[in-house]
């Protein structure tokens, strides 16, 4: 089976497809950077938050542009789980993060944040290849509908048995490209039509604009 392959982040912004890019950094640095969070999780346990922090950085690693961690993506995902995700999706993400930690310890005898970048990527690629195999599918009720959810982002619409990793990748991708750093450093940014000026002397523009 073919392994993970580098992907141009600008292509990813258009396709939202596979998100695997190998980041060549020392394993110790990767573990240390995720060992202590600089933020307090609202919806996740401390261990889940640390796993999320490392997973998000593997999906959107720092290259010549900022990575997910610097862009605040883990905080975005935690906030989404707390306030925007359906109960089923939120439980799916929590259970999925627990599974990632358990699988890492089973395969390598260490938590996910302590693994090498290659080990982390290989583990996550399994979830991507098998569709994520939702460990919390039973938590998504058959009666779930969009009733009362009309103001939520369409991304978080309930879907029974939705693979946790598919949900997580979408949250990380959306969080990254809607962050200030993602929107201004990873993709082209042109503030059109410029700042709003509510009262401009006619002499500056010569004549009024037609509507």
pLDDT beyond 60 at 77: yes
Tell me what pLDDT residue 35 has: 57
pLDDT single digits (tens) 133-161: 444 433 333 333 333 333 333 444 445 56
Whole-number Å distance between alpha carbons of 195 and 72: 26
> Hey, how many other C-beta atoms are within 10 angstroms of the C-beta on 8?
11
Taking Cα atoms as reference points, which of 129, 138, 117, 128 lies closest to residue 167?
Answer: 128
pTM recorded for the entire structure: 0.66
Whole-number Å distance between alpha carbons of 173 and 22: 17
Tell me what pLDDT residue 75 has: 97
Taking Cα atoms as reference points, which of 92, 78, 93, 91 lies closest to residue 40?
Answer: 78
Whole-number Å distance between alpha carbons of 75 and 80: 9
pLDDT single digits (tens) 8-57: 454 444 343 333 333 333 344 444 444 578 899 999 999 999 999 999 99
Report the chain's C-alpha Rg in angstroms: 20
Q: Kindly state the average pLDDT of the residues 167-171.
A: 93
pLDDT single digits (tens) 79-122: 999 999 989 889 999 999 999 999 999 999 999 999 999 999 99
């Amino acid at each position: 089976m073919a392994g993970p392959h580098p992907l141009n982040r600008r292509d990813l912004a258009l396709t939202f497809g596979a998100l695997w890019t190998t980041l060549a950094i020392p394993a110790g640095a990767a573990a240390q950077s995720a060992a202590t969070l600089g933020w307090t999780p609202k919806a996740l346990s401390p261990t889940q938050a640390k796993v999320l922090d490392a997973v998000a950085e593997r999906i959107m690693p720092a290259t010549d542009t900022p990575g997910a961690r610097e862009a605040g993506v883990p905080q975005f995902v935690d906030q989404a789980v707390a306030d925007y995700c359906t109960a089923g999706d939120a439980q799916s993400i929590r259970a999925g993060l627990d599974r990632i930690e358990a699988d890492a310890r089973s395969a390598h005898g260490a938590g996910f944040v302590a693994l090498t970048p290659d080990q982390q990527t290989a583990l996550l690629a399994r979830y991507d290849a098998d569709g994520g195999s939702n460990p919390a599918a039973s938590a998504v009720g058959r009666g779930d509908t969009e009733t009362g959810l009309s103001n939520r982002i369409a991304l978080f619409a309930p879907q029974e048995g939705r693979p946790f990793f598919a949900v997580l990748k979408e949250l990380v991708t959306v969080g990254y490209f809607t962050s200030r750093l993602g929107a201004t450093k990873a993709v082209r940014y042109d503030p059109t039509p410029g700042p709003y000026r509510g009262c401009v002397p006619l002499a500056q523009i010569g004549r009024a604009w037609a509507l």
